[in-house]
């Protein structure tokens, strides 16, 4: 049986441009797939993004760059607010799983992780050793950092790298995207953009990173993260999260429509 590490993109489960706007229909579709995977005997671990529950406030107060003396008090308020918002979004994901008879357990990074990037410090063993039949969930979050930074954003993509490379037994790592079928030859807004079915690290990418909304690196960080994971896990994919049934197809047939990341 497979162990699937899945990343719900923040732009998939929220409306990224509208403050704290959750897409419950999208989350419900994902929960149905998790239920089906579990019913087939597979194990699932979930990481989810922040979307409009984190990026907009983080952008407003420049949280990604750490403490700044002239606005530090406002930043501290924003850090607490973003953490509360992320717990709220995480509750939406957990409640949806519960509605599909899936028990889950959350591991908020602000409770157990420190510093940012793929080399952040934190003990993954509670996620690894989650009870049989329980789906562990973690998510992008604001975490404490060493001085002088004091705080920063730990991306869900960096969590994917560490979990994918360090927790044994994971067979598939799937990034579920919110606005595209996979990696495209041009930004999704380009009518001539075509799906790239297989991507290697040395291939150039014509992408766009919306810095007005995204504070964690967008598609470029996802590609870098996926490439690192693919050194350990052979099945690393970008798949359209609006059509999560393709995850089932991948498990059953070994392939699906999307982009496989290879070495």
What local confidence, expressed as pLDDT, does residue 16 receive?
A: 80
239 contacts 176 by C-beta, under 8 angstroms: yes
What local confidence, expressed as pLDDT, does residue 217 receive?
A: 60
- State the Cα angle at 244 between 138 and 164, rounded to 5°: 40
Of 108, 113, 196, the C-alpha closest to 151 is 113
Residue 236 forms beta bridges with which residues?
173
What local confidence, expressed as pLDDT, does residue 195 receive?
A: 95
- Residues (pLDDT < 70) of the chain are 206-217
What local confidence, expressed as pLDDT, does residue 214 receive?
A: 52
209 contacts 218 by C-beta, under 8 angstroms: yes
Provide the token pair at 95.
């409640």
pTM for the whole structure: 0.94
What local confidence, expressed as pLDDT, does residue 207 receive?
A: 60
44 contacts 50 by C-beta, under 8 angstroms: no
**Would you say the C-alpha torsion 188, 260, 238, 34 has a positive or negative sign?**
positive
What local confidence, expressed as pLDDT, does residue 22 receive?
A: 96
- Quick one: 127 exposed, middle or buried, by C-beta within 10 A (0-12, 13-18, 19+)? buried
Provide the token pair at 201.
């690290």
From residue 162, alpha-carbon distances to 120, 159, 166, 202, 263 in Å are 9, 5, 6, 22, 18
For the chain, domains (ranges, CATH) are 3-262 (3.40.1160.10)
Distance of CA 96 to the CA centre of its chain: 17
For 190-214, the pLDDT digits (tens) are 888 899 999 998 888 766 545 444 5
């Amino acid at each position: 049986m497979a162990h699937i590490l899945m990343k719900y993109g923040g732009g998939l489960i929220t409306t990224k441009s509208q403050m704290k706007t959750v897409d419950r229909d999208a989350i419900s579709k994902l929960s149905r797939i998790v239920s089906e995977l579990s019913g087939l005997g597979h194990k699932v671990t979930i990481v989810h993004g922040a979307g409009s529950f984190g990026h907009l406030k983080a952008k407003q107060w420049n949280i990604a760059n750490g403490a700044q003396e002239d606005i530090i008090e406002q930043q501290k308020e924003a850090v607490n607010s973003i953490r509360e918002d992320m717990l709220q979004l995480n509750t939406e994901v957990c409640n949806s799983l519960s509605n599909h008879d899936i028990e889950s357990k959350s591991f908020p990074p602000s409770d157990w992780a420190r510093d940012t990037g793929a080399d952040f410090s934190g003990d993954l063993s509670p996620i690894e050793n989650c009870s049989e039949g329980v789906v562990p969930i973690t998510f992008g979050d604001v975490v404490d950092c060493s001085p002088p930074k004091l705080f920063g954003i730990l991306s869900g993509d960096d969590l994917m790298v560490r979990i994918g490379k360090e927790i044994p037994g994971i067979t598939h790592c799937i990034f579920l995207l919110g606005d595209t079928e996979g990696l495209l030859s041009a930004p999704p807004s380009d009518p001539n953009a075509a799906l790239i079915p297989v991507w290697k690290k040395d291939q150039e990418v014509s992408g766009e990173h919306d810095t007005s909304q995204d504070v964690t690196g967008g598609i470029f960080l996802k590609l870098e993260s996926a490439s690192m994971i693919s050194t350990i896990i052979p099945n690393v994919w970008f798949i359209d999260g609006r059509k999560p049934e393709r995850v089932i197809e991948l498990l059953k047939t070994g392939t699906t429509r999307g982009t496989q990341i290879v070495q």
